[in-house]
Amino acid sequence: MKRRPKMTGLFIVLLMMIGYGGFQPAQAAEEGISLTEAIRMALANPYNLGAYGAGVTEAEAQVAQADAARWPAVSLSTNYTKVGPYTTIEMNYLPDPSGGFNVLPTPKKVDGTGTYSTGINFQFPLYMGGKLTAAADLAQLGLDGAELNYQTAYENLVYQIVQAYVGVLKADGMLALTRDQIKLLSEHQRLIETNLNLGYATQSDLMETKIRLTQAELGAVRAEHGKKLALENLCTLLGIPPQDLVLTSKPALAAEHELPELETVIRRAETNRPELRNLALAVRSAEANLELARGYWKPNLVMIGAYEAQNPDHPSLKDAVWRFTLNLDWKFFDAGAGKAGVQQAEANLEKLRFQLAQTKDLIQLEVRQKYLAVTEAAQVLSLTKLSLSQAEENYMLQKAKFELGVATNLELLTAQNTLNAARNDYLNAEYDYFLAVAALYHALGETEDFMLEVRDDA
């Protein structure tokens, strides 16, 4: 019976939407793409998960082969053997007048004769020292590993899409802020030019404004380039040509989202991280290999049978007879190769156990780092929100003072720059916090659970 990778929640919903034809990449790209639609498009791209799906299919076939090896193999065979025509020499003995005999060799042609041999053959392993059972267990562990690799690749793909999607949103937001700054500075430059003509502004004021405008235009060029790179990355994952996509989502965490305690997070990572689960499977596989290696001295007993008949005219089982053979293969001397194989299997098992313990420590360290990154990102988000409010208040104050003539042009431009920087910081902080939480869930091996906590229409 075939088994498939574990699929839950969002994974099943997305695959159902793909399977029922509710997804058209080109149409989605034209009408706008939400985060859920982007994940669906990436799952439909065969270059993302196709190799892992083929790996599962291959492992399923290997399990079927290992199971089939424990059953009798039956086959039908027939062959035709022809002898001749050929020439033989007959010895003729002729009487001799002296009372003896003369030998006269005489050539004789013999017609060819043919025989059909037909039989039903079977082979049944009676005892293989546990090798067939071990092979089946190893094949099943291989299938478990292939399914885990598929699930891991799926979660990694979802995480990559989240990063790429948010990367485009962030780049687009930076570009929009830069364009707003250019618009604001262009209007301010026109005001300064008017005041200069009226004698209310100096040439220095105009030059300072032009410099700030040029810097903003340079920032826009960089922002456009950053957006193009982000779009290239996202389009590649979606399996569509590079294009300017319309993203309809601004994903955010649900209001009720709370960060779990650190110790709880570490325990969840030890349970769910695919690396640990994969290494645990590798340890089990090495244990099975060790048991198999320890049975190197055990004999193999195979029964071979055939129901055979011969007929000179055509293939037939008429007058067939049974033939049975018991084949015993018991190795008494192998120059130490068997013991060396046991030592190799023991060393491999020990190596994998060390790797499992080391990987567990590294994952604990990674989870602590991701957890601290989330707490830092939350603090940065709170402070940048406060900084934005203060920068907006300061800009409105400086603008009012400038209009009353009690603030200089430089003071107003400085307030504008401070406000623009605060807006950029807050935009970055919003998405950085979202990505930090996503990275934490990915470090826990719970990317799918993270997606279930995301509001796609924020």
pLDDT tens by residue, 186-209: 999 999 999 999 888 899 999 999
CB-side exposure of 415: number of CA atoms within 13 Å? 21
Question: What one-letter code names the amino acid at 94?
Answer: L
Most distant CA pair in the chain: distance in Å?
161
Q: What is the pLDDT of residues 204-255, one digit of tens each?
A: 999 999 999 999 999 999 999 999 999 999 999 999 998 888 998 888 887 6
List 116's β-bridge partners, or say none. 80, 311
Residues in the chain: 458
Q: Are 12 and 113 in contact (CB under 8 A)?
A: no
User: Which two tokens mark 158?
Assistant: 């979802």
Q: Which two tokens stand for residue 19?
A: 């399977």
Burial class (CB in 10 A: 0-12, 13-18, 19+), 7: middle
* Interval 322-368: pLDDT, tens: 999 999 888 888 888 889 999 999 999 999 999 999 999 999 999 99
The predicted model gives 399-415 an average pLDDT of 92
Instruction: Give the C-alpha separation, 142 to 135, whole Å.
Output: 10
**Count of helices and strands (H, E) across the chain:** 11, 8
pLDDT at 93: 72
CATH domain 10-71+128-296+334-455 topology: Outer membrane efflux proteins (OEP) (1.20.1600)
Identify whether 95 is preceded by a cis peptide bond (ω within 30 of 0): no
Residue 414: predicted pLDDT? 94
Residue pointed to by tokens 């325990």: 267
pLDDT at 27: 52
pLDDT in tens, 409-452: 999 999 999 999 999 999 999 999 999 999 999 999 988 888 87
- The Cβ-side half-sphere exposure at 77, using a 13 Å CA radius, reads 12
Domain ranges of the chain: 10-71+128-296+334-455, 74-127+315-331
Q: For the CA atoms of 259, 263, 266, 272, what is the dihedral angle to 10 degrees?
A: -80
271: how many CB neighbours lie within 10 A of its CB?
12
